[in-house]
Amino acid sequence: MPTTDRKLCREAIRKTLVLRAGDTPDASAVAEAALGTWRLVAIRLTPVIGTLGVDVLFKRSLHLTSTAFPWLSSAWDHEENATVLASLKARLEACEKDAAAEASYTLLVTFTELLATLIGESLTERLLGPVWASSSPVPEQESIS
Amino acid sequence: MGKKNPTRLIDAAGQPLEPTKSALALAPAEVETFVKRETEVLADEGTVLSCEEDASQREGVVDLREKIVDQREEMAGQREEMAGQREEMAGQREEMAGQREKAMRSQVGKARLKAALIKSTAAQLREANERLVVATVRAQTMADAAEQTTVQMAYMAEHDFLTGLPNRALLSDRLAQSITLARRYGKKVALMYLDIDHFKHINDSLGHAVGDRLLQSVAKRLQACIRLSDTVSRQGGDEFVVLLTEVEDAQSAILSAEKLIEAMAHPCLVNGHRLHATLSIGISLYPDDGKDAEAIIRNADTAMYQAKKSGRNKYMMFTPTMNDRAVTRQSIEQALHRALEKQEFVLHYQPKVSLDTGTITGAEALIRWQRPRHRLVSPKQFVSIAEECGLILPIGKWVLHEACRQAQDWLQAGLDLGQIAVNVSPMEFHGKNFLSGVREILNDTGLDPRHLELELTESGLMQDSEQTAATLLALKHLGVQIAVDDFGTGYSSLSYLRNFRIDTLKIDKSFVQDIDGDAGEAIVRAIIAMGMSLKQRVVAEGIETQHQLAFLQSHNCKEGQGYYWGRPVPAEEFATLLAGKTFKC
């Protein structure tokens, strides 16, 4: 991904998280914003790379992110996705707001850039662009991968 | 023209004309239109029909009526024809509608088919993408694992597994670099070779787990004492090397060594044990004590060996004379190997004498080395080296076999030997084949086990108490006697006297020689009293004077040995002693 595009994408991700977290976010709001954004990402990607594809990419991203945020580290590979998300949420909620925000941002950036290495920047932008642009809540009936 | 009659249609009989059945078939609107049009035609002609008109007029009217009826019938026919046409058209429309529906159904089917095809293709693509993503991510994970393993292996190749310290290979590399830099900038490099004093004893008595924890604890303390630019390395066992880069002079290295010794002053708490670990340190300097890494390490090791020899818990700077000693030691080790092969060892025998009667109660077998072109070498000069290089095992086995063989010869010759005593080193006693070796020798020589007494030191008995107890019990079952040699000089714990089945206590000669002093007397008295109360034989070692002998006799010590009765002698001379001599007591 060219530097400019990458920079724009990162800014969009950060902006999306900030918008979703609200005006005076605490760690819990940050966690909710991260997971909400993630759900949108999963919904957009599942038809293209399947549930399992989304699942392994997410776990891989979590693993890579945990090198910078060791408190995210765990044996994620052997966990059900729902368990992973619940655990991630609990960990984000348990830490300081700024740390939670930075970890959430890093996780989504890592995921997006990893995805781009697999399916290309253009398709990544086409699939996830609407997520970054959107800050609407996820309908309840929509399931996550 | 008279008043007009109302517009009514009447038939020939003057009755109102009824509309025909077919006319009813018309729509009411059509009938009304038709009647209106006919009425207007009649009105325009000024023909108003009434019952008061004359017959001719009536006839005209009848004709007209007939005409109208004809027209009506004609029109009805036309209507029927039109109705038929409409029905036909309706049929055609229905047919067309059916065709249209059929065509539409066909199009919907095609659309559905196309949608299903698209859906199926999308699913296949998704599955293919899914597999690709999963495979790629797993490949990345595997690559990570492989990379991590490579890094880990590289780390393990250069670090000690137990302590995490740089190992010998990494130290060599850093030492070589330090020497290169020191040579370039005219600096010095100091190397300290360290060894934990009595570590083997800790390892043997408290187990390897405690020993390992102690090594880890010592490693941390050593690391805490040095600069970041310096290196602490574990060489293996309880040996460490500290590399001090860029030292100004020997004094800098000495200060570091003192710091290390001081760091070990406080006990290490390991698994509930308070362990006092001390260090023996040897120091060598580049370029003063060697021009390359190998020489620096070797000389530091030599200096450490000297520090140990000099009492431990201290450091020593390397001096060239140490190398001479090291060379001598190396020479002795090589010569010992040869001595074993060439059977250069001999046994001399020192009598144990009854302090009551002066008769010989037994003999202690003592090894001597008849080294070619040398005077007879005493065990003091080579046993420690034999222990260090492991040669003590074959040497000890030879001693035991030779002593048993000789004792059996004397017994078979009718000489009243009593017991033959053989010293056993801790390394031999704790060797896995010791017990079977004793059995084998007894079988081989035919010596009655009751004539054999094995002398063990206190420190030897204290190692691995569970195994020691088992071995001692097995020996007792064989009938072999057990003596504690150099009693009072090793471990101060007396619990082993209760736990182990000891037959004889041998009072160390240092106490016997101190009999002239108050403290010496007290200790000897105490040991004799303890032996008596535990129903153990007490043998005083190293008796040299009449005064010592008298003291021991006065305190009811039953046996003794020492130069008072003469030095140890070869087997032939000892046989003469056995043959009849009673010593002066």
Query: CB A53 to CB B141 under 8 A?
Result: no
Confidence check: pLDDT of B332 > 50? yes
Least confident of B31-35, B141-145, B292-296: B31-35
When pLDDT is averaged across residues B193-205 and rounded to a whole number, the result is 87
B126 vs A49, A56, A63: nearest CB:
A49
Which residues touch B120 (CB under 8 Å, ≥6 apart)? none
Cβ-Cβ contacts under 8 Å between A and B: the total is 39
- Give B148's contacts in chain A (Cβ within 8 Å): none
Q: Domain B329-579 has what CATH class?
A: alpha beta
Residue of A nearest to B125 (CA): A48
Is residue A65 very low, low, confident or very high in pLDDT (cuts 50, 70, 90)?
very high
How much is the pLDDT for B13? 53
Confidence check: pLDDT of A143 > 70? no
What phi and psi, each to the nearest 5 degrees, are found at residue A134?
A: -90, 145
How much is the pLDDT for B36? 65
Least confident of B10-19, B191-200, B573-582: B10-19
pLDDT in tens, B516-564: 776 778 889 999 998 888 889 999 999 999 999 999 999 999 999 999 9
A53 vs B122, B134, B141: nearest CB:
B134
Interface of B with A (CB under 8 A): 122, 126-127, 129-130, 132-134, 136-138, 140-141
How many percent of chain A have pLDDT more than 70? 88
- Give B127's contacts in chain A (Cβ within 8 Å): 50
Distance in angstroms (rounded) separating the CA atoms of residues B35 and B68:
10
How much is the pLDDT for B328? 81
Interface of A with B (CB under 8 A): 47-53, 56-57, 59-60, 63, 77, 118-119
Terminal Cα-to-Cα distance of chain B (whole angstroms): 202
When pLDDT is averaged across residues B22-39 and rounded to a whole number, the result is 54
Residue pair A26/A141 in contact by the 8 Å Cβ criterion: no
E strand spans, B448-547: 452-457, 481-487, 504-507, 537-540
Query: CB B140 to CB A119 under 8 A?
Result: no
Mutate to test the interface with A, among B133, B136, B141, B147 (most CBs of A within 10 A): B133
Higher-confidence residue: B270 or B19? B270
The three-class DSSP label of residue B452 is strand
A48 vs B129, B137, B141: nearest CB:
B129
How much is the pLDDT for A133? 60
Confidence check: pLDDT of B53 > 80? no
Residue of A nearest to B140 (CA): A60
- Give A63's contacts in chain B (Cβ within 8 Å): 141
- Comparing CA positions, the residue from B365, B351, B337 lying closest to residue B445 is B365
Q: Which residue has the tokens 């708490």?
A: B269
How much is the pLDDT for A73? 85
| Domain B168-318, CATH number (from 3.20.20.60, 3.40.950.10, 3.30.1300.10, 3.30.70.270) | 3.30.70.270
The three-class DSSP label of residue A139 is coil
Instruction: Report how far Cα B390 is from the mean position of its chain's Cα atoms.
Output: 29
pLDDT in tens, B256-277: 999 999 999 888 998 888 888 9
How many percent of chain B have pLDDT more than 90? 57
Is residue B48 very low, low, confident or very high in pLDDT (cuts 50, 70, 90)?
very low
A118 vs B122, B136, B141: nearest CB:
B136
Rounded to the nearest integer, the mean pLDDT of chain B is 86
How much is the pLDDT for B372? 85
pLDDT in tens, A36-62: 999 999 999 999 999 999 999 999 999
Confidence check: pLDDT of A144 > 50? no
Neighbours of B269 (CB within 10 A): 11
Residue pair A48/A127 in contact by the 8 Å Cβ criterion: yes
- Give A78's contacts in chain B (Cβ within 8 Å): none
Residue of A nearest to B144 (CA): A64
Listed by start position, the domains of chain B span 21-126, 168-318, 329-579
Least confident of A8-17, A22-31, B481-490: B481-490
pLDDT in tens, B442-466: 999 999 999 999 999 887 787 667 7
How much is the pLDDT for B583? 78
pLDDT in tens, B104-116: 888 888 888 888 8
pLDDT in tens, B392-413: 999 999 999 999 999 999 999 9
CA atoms within 13 A on the CB side of B88: 6
Exposed (0-12), middle (13-18) or buried (19+): which is B466, by Cβ within 10 Å? exposed
How much is the pLDDT for B367? 96
Q: How far is A127 from chain B (nearest CA, A)?
A: 14
- Give B137's contacts in chain A (Cβ within 8 Å): 56-57, 59-60
How much is the pLDDT for B196? 94
CA atoms within 13 A on the CB side of B560: 34
Helix (H) or strand (E) holding B349: strand B345-354
pLDDT in tens, B229-241: 999 999 989 999 9
Higher-confidence residue: B55 or B348? B348
The DSSP string of B125-189 is HHHHHHHHHHHHHHHHHHHHHHHHHHHHHHHHHHB-TTT--B-HHHHHHHHHHHHHHHHHHT-EE
A52 vs B122, B130, B136: nearest CB:
B130
- Comparing CA positions, the residue from B482, B484, B483, B486 lying closest to residue B512 is B486
Is residue B22 very low, low, confident or very high in pLDDT (cuts 50, 70, 90)?
very low
- Give B126's contacts in chain A (Cβ within 8 Å): 47-50
Query: CB A56 to CB B122 under 8 A?
Result: no
Is residue B299 very low, low, confident or very high in pLDDT (cuts 50, 70, 90)?
very high
When pLDDT is averaged across residues B321-337 and rounded to a whole number, the result is 84
